[in-house]
């Protein structure tokens, strides 16, 4: 049996870190919707500024749907983690999920490309990707979610890959944004 | 031709497509993960409408929130009306929601349609 004290410790840790929502488990479309409903309720309570709350929700939606849509179901590692918290003058949305290691290079290139662009560059890339997706008639939106997260965040996206075994890597992702509204 | 009416849910918008008035309305929230499937009947309806459109078509977007998957569908909707005469897009946003206003301006550039901007409360 798990030590009962560890429940209190986990609770205390989440409180101390001012976590707004934390989820660990499988993410399919149905669960994603439930997590989003909870996220929206919690954000309503914790973020008074409308524009900042909307940006937080937008980032949460894209982050969760990215995992649920793109993560190929890896039987060995079915679980993902998702959390929203705050530190200093910022809120952050973080997630972690297991991806096939052969996807790491292209994902890293896309994230570096996004992180190297300024506000105007991101806007142009966003519009270009929308145009290209329509020409290709493809439903996968080729990084549109990530671009949109970067635009709402107004900061560099944090990411890391950790090799788990010969085929799989853990992808950690974090987007943060200022608590005080400013034009993004 | 029939109207197409869909009532919204926490993840999907209210939709009202009226062929007699030539009015297409989308309101509420739109964040389905698979927007292509959800909006398929809408795109099919528009194809049918465009065979015999009324003289003036109004597309009213009164969305409180939409995800990127929906933004691709909106672009498909606008593209269907490219090079058609007398089409106006009424793009609504909450007064404090500048991001929504900016999204509209980007769709205006991408689609080259005639956009009008309005606030809603």
CB distance from B56 to chain A under 8 Å?
no
Q: Which domains does chain B have, with CATH numbers?
A: 4-119 (3.30.750)
Cα–Cα distance, A71 to A80 (Å, whole number) = 10
Q: Which domains does chain A have, with CATH numbers?
A: 4-106+157-178 (3.30.565)
The answer to whether residues A54 and A181 touch, using CB atoms and an 8 Å cutoff, is no
Q: Report CB contact under 8 Å: B34, A139.
A: yes
Q: How confident is the model at residue A17 (pLDDT cuts 50, 70, 90)?
A: confident
Q: What is the ipTM of this complex?
A: 0.92
Mutate which of B10, B30, B33, B99 to disrupt the A interface (most A C-beta within 10 Å)?
A: B33
Cα–Cα distance, B74 to B59 (Å, whole number) = 11
Packing angle of the helix pair A104-115, A119-136 (nearest 10 deg)? 140
The average pLDDT across A112-129 equals 96
pLDDT digits (tens, 9 = 90+) for A136-175: 765 556 589 999 999 999 999 999 999 999 999 999 999 9
In tens digits, chain B (121 residues) has pLDDT values of: 999 999 999 999 999 999 999 999 999 999 999 999 999 999 999 999 999 999 999 999 999 999 999 999 999 999 999 989 899 999 999 998 999 999 999 999 999 999 999 999 8
pLDDT at A57 over 80: yes
Q: How confident is the model at residue A182 (pLDDT cuts 50, 70, 90)?
A: low
For chain A, the average pLDDT equals 91
Instruction: Identify the pLDDT of residue A50.
Output: 87
**Residues of chain A contacting B31 with CB distance shorter than 8 Å:** 36, 61, 65
CB distance from B108 to chain A under 8 Å?
no
Q: How confident is the model at residue A181 (pLDDT cuts 50, 70, 90)?
A: low
Q: How confident is the model at residue A134 (pLDDT cuts 50, 70, 90)?
A: confident
Question: Which of B110-113's residues contact partners 24+ apart within 8 Å by CB, and which partners?
Answer: B110/A127, B110/A130, B110/A131, B110/B75, B110/B78, B111/B75, B111/B78, B111/B79, B111/B81, B111/B82, B112/B82, B113/B59, B113/B78, B113/B81, B113/B82, B113/B87, B113/B88, B113/B89
Instruction: Identify the pLDDT of residue A58.
Output: 96
Share of chain A above pLDDT 90, in %: 77
Q: How confident is the model at residue A80 (pLDDT cuts 50, 70, 90)?
A: very high
Question: How close does chain A come to B118, measured CA to CA in Å?
Answer: 18
The average pLDDT across A41-68 equals 93
Mutate which of B8, B30, B68, B75 to disrupt the A interface (most A C-beta within 10 Å)?
A: B68
Instruction: Identify the pLDDT of residue A184.
Output: 46
């Amino acid at each position: 049996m798990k030590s009962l004290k560890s429940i209190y410790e986990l609770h205390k840790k989440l409180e101390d870190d001012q976590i707004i929502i934390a989820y660990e488990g499988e993410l399919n479309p149905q669960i994603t919707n439930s997590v989003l409903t909870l996220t929206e309720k919690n954000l309503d309570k914790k973020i008074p500024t409308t524009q900042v709350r909307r940006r937080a929700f937008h980032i949460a939606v894209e982050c969760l749907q990215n995992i649920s849509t793109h993560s190929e179901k890896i039987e060995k590692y079915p679980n993902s983690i998702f959390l929203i918290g705050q530190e200093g003058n910022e809120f952050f949305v973080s997630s972690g999920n297991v991806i096939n290691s052969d996807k790491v290079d292209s994902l890293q290139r896309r994230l570096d490309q996004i992180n190297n662009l300024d506000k105007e560059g991101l806007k142009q890339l966003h519009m270009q990707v929308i145009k290209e997706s329509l020409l290709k008639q493809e439903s996968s939106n080729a990084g549109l979610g990530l671009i949109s997260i970067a635009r709402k965040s107004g900061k560099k996206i944090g990411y890391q890959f950790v090799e788990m075994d010969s085929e799989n890597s853990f992808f950690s992702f974090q987007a943060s944004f200022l608590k005080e509204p400013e034009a993004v | 031709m029939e109207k197409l009416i869909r009532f919204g849910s926490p993840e999907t918008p209210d939709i009202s497509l009226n062929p007699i008035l030539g009015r297409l309305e989308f309101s509420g929230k739109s964040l389905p993960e698979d927007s292509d499937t959800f909006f398929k009947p809408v795109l099919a309806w528009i194809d049918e409408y465009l065979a015999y459109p009324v003289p003036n078509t109004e597309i009213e977007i009164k969305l409180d929130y939409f995800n990127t998957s929906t933004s691709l569908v909106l672009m498909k909707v606008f593209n269907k009306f490219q090079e058609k005469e007398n089409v106006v897009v009424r793009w609504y946003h909450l007064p404090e929601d500048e991001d929504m206003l900016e999204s509209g301006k980007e769709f205006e550039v991408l689609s080259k349609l005639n956009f009008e901007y309005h606030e809603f409360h």
